Amino acid sequence: MGIDDAGRGPLIGPMILAGVLLDKNSEIALKKLNIKDSKQLMHPTRIRLSKIIKESVLSYHIVKTSPEAIDRAVNSKLNLNTLEAIKSAEIINRLNNKKQIKVIIDCPSVNTKKWKSTLLDYIESPDNLIISCEHKADENHLSVGAASILAKVEREDEVTKLKKEYGNIGSGYPSDPETKRFLKTHGKKLASSGIFRKSWETWKKQFPEAHQGTLDGF
């Protein structure tokens, strides 16, 4: 089983986690497709491969976490790493077929040992699992590379939906000039739309008065 995320850092839109479960046959089939980290592939290639991956693996599961859910977690002192551990465990619990499975996760934390310990707190039946939390797992393991493609395509689909509804939001990442422009021009008007992560420093710096108002409410 491989698990990876997409959209962890953006100001706009959801965070996506995807997991895939392979057996020997599906692994052989995917090896022929030159599956790799989604960041190394063009968007049309990711779309084509995502369809094949879904048809080839034993099972897959995609979890979407909204900006509002992220804000609730961060504002309740549940940091993003812990939230991602909870969502990763949700995927594992869903895909766990009770056979012996090696689970490989592209770890979001610098401290892989601590993050794995947090992850285990949320896994329902860990006894049949061999869990490895690694950095650059999407580059080094086919299953995680496949998961990264599913997550990236799902994230891009979500961004496309937002663009159709709200206009050019850019990539949604704080460093994107188009996203900065959109935030400055439309952020206040769309503050209650649910598309922004208001716990992000980028939002707080742009609208300090809104943040202060929230603090005064406690």
> Is residue 217 predicted with pLDDT exceeding 70?
no
pLDDT in tens, 156-188: 999 999 999 999 999 999 999 999 999 999 999
Provide CATH code, domain 167-211.
Answer: 1.10.10.460
> Is residue 36 predicted with pLDDT exceeding 60?
yes
pLDDT of residue 215: 39
pLDDT of residue 40: 79
pLDDT of residue 153: 97
pLDDT of residue 210: 66
Average pLDDT over residues 29-48: 84
Strand pairing class (129-134; 101-106): parallel
pLDDT confidence bin for 211, thresholds 50/70/90: low
Residues spanned by CATH 1.10.10.460 within the chain? 167-211
Gap between the terminal Cα atoms of the chain: 43
pLDDT of residue 77: 83
Average pLDDT over residues 28-37: 82
pLDDT of residue 58: 97
Q: What percent of the chain has pLDDT over 70?
A: 95
pLDDT of residue 126: 97
> Is residue 216 predicted with pLDDT exceeding 50?
no
More confident residue, 53 or 35: 53
- CATH fold, domain 2-163, is Nucleotidyltransferase; domain 5 (3.30.420)
Residues spanned by CATH 3.30.420.10 within the chain? 2-163
pLDDT of residue 34: 78
pLDDT of residue 37: 63
Average pLDDT over residues 27-40: 82
> Is residue 143 predicted with pLDDT exceeding 70?
yes
Long-range contact pairs involving 161-170 (C-beta distance under 8 Å, separation at least 24): 162/12, 162/13, 162/195, 166/190, 166/193, 166/195, 169/12, 169/13, 169/195, 170/12
Question: What is the reported pTM?
Answer: 0.93
Average pLDDT over residues 90-100: 97
In angstroms, the CA 52 to CA 56 distance is 6
Average model confidence (pLDDT) for the chain?
93
Average pLDDT over residues 195-211: 90
Task: Report the 10 Å Cβ neighbour count for 4.
Answer: 29
The answer to whether 216 and 27 are in contact (CB under 8 A) is no
> H or E stretch including 4?
strand 2-6
